[in-house]
Chains A and B, each alone.
Chain A
Amino acid sequence: MQTLDLDRIDVRTANQQLHDGAGGDNEYEILNPMGRHAIAVGLDGPFEVAVRGHAGYYCGSMNKQANVTIEGNAGVGVAENIMSGRVHVKGYASQSAAATGHGGLVVIDGDASARCGISMKGVDIVVGGSVGHMSAFMAQFGHLVVCGDAGADLGDSIYEAKLFVRGSVESLGADCIEKEMKPEHLETLRGLLEQAGIDADPKEFRRYGSARQLYNFKIGNIGYY
Chain B
Amino acid sequence: MDERKVRESATFPPHVIAEIQRAASEGMYYIRGSGAKRAVPTFDDLVFLGASISRYPLEGYREKCDTNVTIGTRFAKKPIELKIPITIAGMSFGALGAHAKQALGQAATAMGTSTTTGDGGMTPEERESSQTLVYQYLPSRYGMEPDQLRKADAIEVVAGQGAKPGGGGMLLGMKITRRVAEMRTLPQGIDQRSACRHPDWTGPDDLEIKIHELREITDWEKPIYVKVGATRTKYDTMLAVKAGADAIVVDGMQGGTAATQTCFIEDVGIPTLPAVRQAVDALKELGMHRKVQLIVSGGIRTGSDVAKALALGADAVSIGMASLMALNCNAPIYEEDYEALGTRPGACHHCHTGKCPVGITTQDPELEKRLDPDLAAQRLRNYLATLTLECQTLARACGKSHVHNLEPEDMVALTMEAAAMARVPLAGTDWIPGWT
A interface, CB within 8 angstroms of B: 11-12, 15-16, 19, 37-38, 41-42, 44, 56-58, 61-64, 76-77, 80-81, 83, 95-96, 99-100, 102, 115, 118-119, 121-122, 137-138, 140-141, 157, 159-160, 215-217, 219, 222
Q: How far is the CA of A99 from the CA of B206 in the complex (A)?
A: 15
Interface residues of B in 268-327 (CB under 8 A from A): none
Query: Contact between B185 and A140 (Cβ–Cβ < 8 Å)?
Result: yes
Q: How far is the CA of A11 from the CA of B212 in the complex (A)?
A: 10
Our pick among B199, B212, B218 for the contact of A96 (Cβ within 8 Å) is B199
Interface presence of B190 (CB below 8 A)? yes
Contacts of A42 on B, CB cut-off 8 Å? 146, 149-150, 216-218
Interface presence of B70 (CB below 8 A)? no
Query: Contact between B199 and A100 (Cβ–Cβ < 8 Å)?
Result: yes
Which among B28, B31, B190, B200 has the greatest number of chain A C-beta atoms within 10 A? B200
Interface of B is mostly: loop
Q: How far is the CA of A56 from the CA of B205 in the complex (A)?
A: 13
Our pick among B31, B149, B185, B201 for the contact of A77 (Cβ within 8 Å) is B201
Contacts of B173 on A, CB cut-off 8 Å? 215-216
Query: Contact between A99 and B200 (Cβ–Cβ < 8 Å)?
Result: yes
Q: A58-B213, A100-B199, A102-B185 are in contact. Are A219 and B219 (CB under 8 A)?
A: no
Interface residues of B in 102-128 (CB under 8 A from A): none
Q: A38-B216, A41-B216, A80-B200 are in contact. Are A100 and B209 (CB under 8 A)?
A: no
Q: How far is the CA of A11 from the CA of B215 in the complex (A)?
A: 11
| B117-159 vs A, Cβ < 8 Å mask (1 yes, 0 no) | 0000000000000000000000011001111011000000000
Contacts of A122 on B, CB cut-off 8 Å? 185
Query: Contact between B186 and A159 (Cβ–Cβ < 8 Å)?
Result: yes
Our pick among B28, B144, B149, B216 for the contact of A12 (Cβ within 8 Å) is B216
Q: A57-B209, A76-B200 are in contact. Are A216 and B185 (CB under 8 A)?
A: no
B interface, CB within 8 angstroms of A: 26-28, 31, 140-141, 144-147, 149-150, 172-173, 185-187, 189-191, 193, 195, 199-201, 206, 209-210, 212-213, 216-220
Query: Contact between B146 and A83 (Cβ–Cβ < 8 Å)?
Result: yes
Our pick among A37, A137, A159 for the contact of B213 (Cβ within 8 Å) is A37
Query: Contact between B146 and A62 (Cβ–Cβ < 8 Å)?
Result: yes
Query: Contact between B27 and A219 (Cβ–Cβ < 8 Å)?
Result: yes
The closest CB in chain B to the CB of A219 belongs to: B27
Q: How far is the CA of A76 from the CA of B207 in the complex (A)?
A: 12
Q: How far is the CA of A121 from the CA of B183 in the complex (A)?
A: 11
Q: How far is the CA of A19 from the CA of B150 in the complex (A)?
A: 12
Q: How far is the CB of A159 from chain B (nearest CB, A)?
A: 6
Q: How far is the CB of A50 from chain B (nearest CB, A)?
A: 19
Q: How far is the CA of A216 from the CA of B140 in the complex (A)?
A: 18
Contacts of B219 on A, CB cut-off 8 Å? 15-16, 19
Query: Contact between A138 and B213 (Cβ–Cβ < 8 Å)?
Result: no
What are 11 A-B pairs at a CB distance below 8 A? Answer: A16-B219, A38-B209, A38-B212, A58-B213, A96-B199, A115-B200, A159-B186, A215-B187, A217-B191, A219-B27, A222-B27
Query: Contact between A99 and B199 (Cβ–Cβ < 8 Å)?
Result: yes
Contacts of B213 on A, CB cut-off 8 Å? 37-38, 41, 57-58, 61, 77, 80
Query: Contact between A102 and B145 (Cβ–Cβ < 8 Å)?
Result: yes
Q: A83-B145, A100-B144, A222-B28 are in contact. Are A15 and B191 (CB under 8 A)?
A: no
Q: How far is the CA of A100 from the CA of B199 in the complex (A)?
A: 8
Contacts of B200 on A, CB cut-off 8 Å? 58, 76-77, 80, 95-96, 99-100, 115, 118
Report the 4 A-B pairs with minimum CB-CB distance, sorted nearest first.
A42-B217, A77-B200, A62-B146, A96-B200
Query: Contact between A37 and B199 (Cβ–Cβ < 8 Å)?
Result: no
Q: How far is the CA of A217 from the CA of B31 in the complex (A)?
A: 10
Contacts of A11 on B, CB cut-off 8 Å? 216
Q: A19-B219, A77-B201, A81-B141 are in contact. Are A160 and B28 (CB under 8 A)?
A: no
Query: Contact between B199 and A118 (Cβ–Cβ < 8 Å)?
Result: yes
Q: How far is the CA of A215 from the CA of B191 in the complex (A)?
A: 6
Query: Contact between A115 and B199 (Cβ–Cβ < 8 Å)?
Result: yes
Q: How far is the CA of A99 from the CA of B146 in the complex (A)?
A: 14
Contacts of B210 on A, CB cut-off 8 Å? 57-58
Which among B150, B206, B217 has the greatest number of chain A C-beta atoms within 10 A? B217
Query: Contact between B216 and A15 (Cβ–Cβ < 8 Å)?
Result: yes
Q: How far is the CA of A61 from the CA of B147 in the complex (A)?
A: 13
Query: Contact between A217 and B28 (Cβ–Cβ < 8 Å)?
Result: yes
Q: How far is the CA of A62 from the CA of B149 in the complex (A)?
A: 10
Q: A96-B200, A119-B195, A121-B185 are in contact. Are A37 and B145 (CB under 8 A)?
A: no
Q: How far is the CB of A53 from chain B (nearest CB, A)?
A: 18
Q: How far is the CB of A8 from chain B (nearest CB, A)?
A: 18
Contacts of B189 on A, CB cut-off 8 Å? 215-216
The closest CB in chain B to the CB of A117 belongs to: B199
Q: A81-B146, A140-B185, A222-B27 are in contact. Are A62 and B191 (CB under 8 A)?
A: no
Q: A159-B186, A215-B191 are in contact. Are A41 and B209 (CB under 8 A)?
A: no
Q: A64-B146, A77-B201, A102-B145 are in contact. Are A141 and B212 (CB under 8 A)?
A: no
Query: Contact between A215 and B209 (Cβ–Cβ < 8 Å)?
Result: no
Q: How far is the CA of A44 from the CA of B141 in the complex (A)?
A: 19
Q: How far is the CA of A37 from the CA of B213 in the complex (A)?
A: 8
Query: Contact between A140 and B186 (Cβ–Cβ < 8 Å)?
Result: yes
Q: How far is the CA of A102 from the CA of B217 in the complex (A)?
A: 17
Contacts of B28 on A, CB cut-off 8 Å? 217, 219, 222
Query: Contact between A119 and B216 (Cβ–Cβ < 8 Å)?
Result: no
